[in-house]
Structure 1
Amino acid sequence: MSLFLAPIHTWLFNKIKLFEEIEQDIINQFPLILTQDTLKAIYDDYGYPMGDEPIESLIDTSNIHGWLQTSINRAEQRQAAIIKVLNDQVKEAADTVVAVYYNKGKEKAIERNETFTDPNQIFVTLNDYLLEGMPCDRVNEVIEQDDQQVIWLTNRCVHQDNWISEGMDVGYYYNFRAAFIKGFVEGNTDKFTYQYEKEPKQKHTIMRA
């Protein structure tokens, strides 16, 4: 247990908040389906989003790691529940959600306004945004890296249980995440491109265009 906040805790907290921003963007796309009553039922199960409250007023300082892990699980389960509602009622809902993720990635790249000269710089920076469990989970493995491209594999799934709990295929989330990465890369520069291959292992490539 930890009794004090460290920069890594705030870093992870901000990634959860971004995940909740995306949740709200999704909700805004489907106001007639994701009504207040529908959302209340989901919030009753998984809690309300954290909103604009600072980490200091929310976190359990006697169990910081546990609080962060619980917050990640709730955010992912809540979003999976939202996608389940949408899929049940809108045939192409997932396509709209992909666009939401892409646009959010692009928005964050523009906000960052950082000039990347090396593909690995983009990969490292993405770790400030992508919610991939706790830092100790070590989800991604870089297998090739030079000044032309960086290639990494997603070797461990830390999302599946949260999506399966809602009867959802975690593949939806991975498609959404790939859209965010693509938006981030394309929102920053036209000098690099991003490719995602789902099979046989999740393979990601950022390469010089």
Structure 2
Amino acid sequence: MSRFLAPIHKWLFNKIKLHEELEKEIVEGFRSQYGNEIDSIERDNIKKYGDRLPDSPLEEIIDTDNIHGWLQDKISIAETRQASILAYLFKQYKDNGILLAKSIYENNAIKHGKLAREGLGDTSAEDIYKIINNYVLDGMPCDNANSITKAEGDLLEYKQDHCLHIKYWNESKVDPKLMYDLRSTWIGTFVNTLNPDFKYQVSVEKIDGDREGFLHRIYKK
């Protein structure tokens, strides 16, 4: 990445902000359902991992001498803190907490799917994939987390042979299976809201010889 601010840096910064927006909605949703107990969980995790980004333009807060490192650090903080908050909530509220978190993820995806749909014309599977990437954190652009394996208008497949999130989930001691489910729930709901003619699906497949990874599909119903 460049030492100078470019559109890609603002694009990534916005995705971090969206991730933190979802975290705030999680806190608000659990506070509404269970009261102020969530406040101490939120406070403890902010103290442990770091606070959310301030409501300031990127150019006012980024370390311009270390743009790449600054953004990577903010991704790490945001992902680990949110996962840790969820780990506490799942431990405290068990299945009811999981269901509530899933509902919050769905509502967030519906909200952003509707916003992304405004003024949008016909969309191909590849268009939808590109729009998803404006919202979902998948590391730094140079990480190349996803590789498109097929793009045919009404179908796009992409593989993911390594997970950039697992280190954050392991550190926060949250069940990765729950996090994968929440993540796929968000993407599936977003796709369905953005264009109800399309569907998102993810499965574990052998994608590189005998090595297993995730195969994602966006396709017309």
Normalised by the shorter chain, which TM-score bucket?
over 0.9
2:17 is aligned with 1:17: yes
Identity value in percent: 35
Tell me the equivalent position of 1:191: 197
- Shift, 1:3, TM fit: 4.0
Structure 1 counterpart of 2:30, which letter? F
Tell me the equivalent position of 2:184: 178
1:45-87 CA-to-partner distances (Å, cap 9, x unmatched) read 1111114222122211110100000000000110111011101
> Do the aligned partners of 2:113 and 2:191 also contact (CA within 8 Å) in 1?
yes
Equivalent residue for 2:112, pick from 94, 108, 113: 108
Equivalent residue for 1:64, pick from 56, 63, 67: 67
Tell me the equivalent position of 1:79: 82
Distance 1:35 1:117, change over 3 A: closer
- Structure 1 runs of 4+ off > 3 angstroms? none
Q: Matches of 2:111 and 2:37 in 1, distance apart?
A: 24
Deviates more, 1:165-174 or 1:86-95: 165-174
> Mind listing any 5+ residue stretches in structure 2 that lack a counterpart?
206-211
Distance 1:171 1:51, change over 3 A: farther
Q: Matches of 1:145 and 1:3 in 2, distance apart?
A: 33
> Mind listing any 5+ residue stretches in structure 1 that lack a counterpart?
none
Q: Matches of 1:33 and 1:202 in 2, distance apart?
A: 38
- Shift, 1:117, TM fit: 2.8
> Do the aligned partners of 1:154 and 1:202 also contact (CA within 8 Å) in 2?
yes
Structure 2 counterpart of 1:99, which letter? S
> Do the aligned partners of 2:201 and 2:218 also contact (CA within 8 Å) in 1?
yes
> Do the aligned partners of 1:2 and 1:63 also contact (CA within 8 Å) in 2?
no
Deviates more, 1:183-192 or 1:4-13: 183-192
Tell me the equivalent position of 1:48: 51
> Do the aligned partners of 1:150 and 1:206 also contact (CA within 8 Å) in 2?
yes
Tell me the equivalent position of 1:146: 152
Tell me the equivalent position of 1:205: 217
Q: Matches of 1:203 and 1:102 in 2, distance apart?
A: 21
Q: Matches of 1:136 and 1:71 in 2, distance apart?
A: 16
Q: Matches of 2:103 and 2:204 in 1, distance apart?
A: 19
**What secondary structure does 1:30 align onto?**
helix
What TM-score results when the alignment is normalised by the length of structure 2?
0.88
> Do the aligned partners of 1:27 and 1:34 also contact (CA within 8 Å) in 2?
no
Tell me the equivalent position of 2:103: 99
Q: Matches of 1:180 and 1:35 in 2, distance apart?
A: 22
Structure 1 counterpart of 2:112, which letter? K
Q: Matches of 1:3 and 1:201 in 2, distance apart?
A: 34
